[in-house]
Amino acid sequence: MNALIVVPTSTWYLLLSAVLFTIGTVGVLVRRNPLVMFMCIELMLNAVNLTFVTLGRRLNDINGQAIVFFVLVVAAAEVVVGLGIIVAIMRRRSGITVDDLAELKG
């Protein structure tokens, strides 16, 4: 029975965060709603946070976890700015997707 219990190693978490990062990347590339794209970017940042924590644990280095706080603050600031811009645009046009934003091209 004990042979079936697998203790997850740090590599598992690194792989998980790589998968989460990829999901975020694909999401930004294929989704068309700015809010969803924005959520995907946040997912990418949090995948990186998981990487930092895992590596900090693996290297036995507290810096890996300390960095996460900085990234969280940056992500929060990004939310403020991003939602501000999205709201400013949504007020002028409702139900917008990025395909509607096509005034700039050439």
Partner 1 sequence: MMSKLIAATSTFEGPAIQWFKISPILALLGGALLLILVGSLTPQWKRGWYATASVVTATTAAVLTGVLWNQMSDDKSSTLVGGAISFDHFSLFATFAICVAVVLVSLVANDYLVREGEDGPEVYGLMLTAAIGGVVMASANDLLVLFLGLETLSLSFYLLTASNRRRMQSGEAGLKYFILGGFASAFFLYGVALLFGASGTTNLQSMATVFSTEVNISGSNGLLLAGIALMLVGFAFKVSLVPFHVWTPDVYQGAPTPVTALMGSVGKVAAFSALIRVFMIALPSRIDDWRPAILVLALLTLVVGSLLAVVQTDVKRMLAYSSISHAGFILVGLEAAAHIGHADSHLGISSAMGYLFIYSILVIGTFAVVSVVAGAGDAATSLDAFKGLGKKRPVLALGMTVLLLAQAGVPLTSGFVAKFGIIRAAVSVESYALAVAAMLAAVIAAFLYLRIMVSMWLSDPADDAPVVVSKSVGLAITLAVVATLLIGILPGLLLGVSQTIGF
| Under 8 Å between Cβ of 102 and 96 | no
* Residue 39 engages partner 1 in binding (rule: CB under 8 A): no
CB of residue 85 vs partner 1: minimum separation in angstroms? 5
* Residue 92 engages partner 1 in binding (rule: CB under 8 A): yes
Closer Cβ to partner 1, 7 or 87, answer by number: 87
For residues 50 and 14, give the distance between their C-alpha atoms in angstroms, rounded to a whole number: 8
Q: How many CB atoms lie within 10 A of CB 26?
A: 11
| Under 8 Å between Cβ of 72 and 52 | no
* Residue 20 engages partner 1 in binding (rule: CB under 8 A): no
| Under 8 Å between Cβ of 15 and 21 | no
Closer Cβ to partner 1, 1 or 101, answer by number: 101
Q: Which of 61, 62, 72, 97 binds partner 1 (CB under 8 A)?
A: 61
For residues 44 and 19, give the distance between their C-alpha atoms in angstroms, rounded to a whole number: 10
Number of residues that bind partner 1 (CB under 8 A): 41
| Under 8 Å between Cβ of 18 and 54 | no
Residues that bind partner 1 (CB under 8 A): 14, 21, 24-25, 28, 34, 37-38, 41, 44-45, 47-48, 51-52, 55, 58-59, 61, 63-64, 67, 70-71, 74, 77-78, 81-82, 84-86, 88-89, 92, 98, 101, 103-106
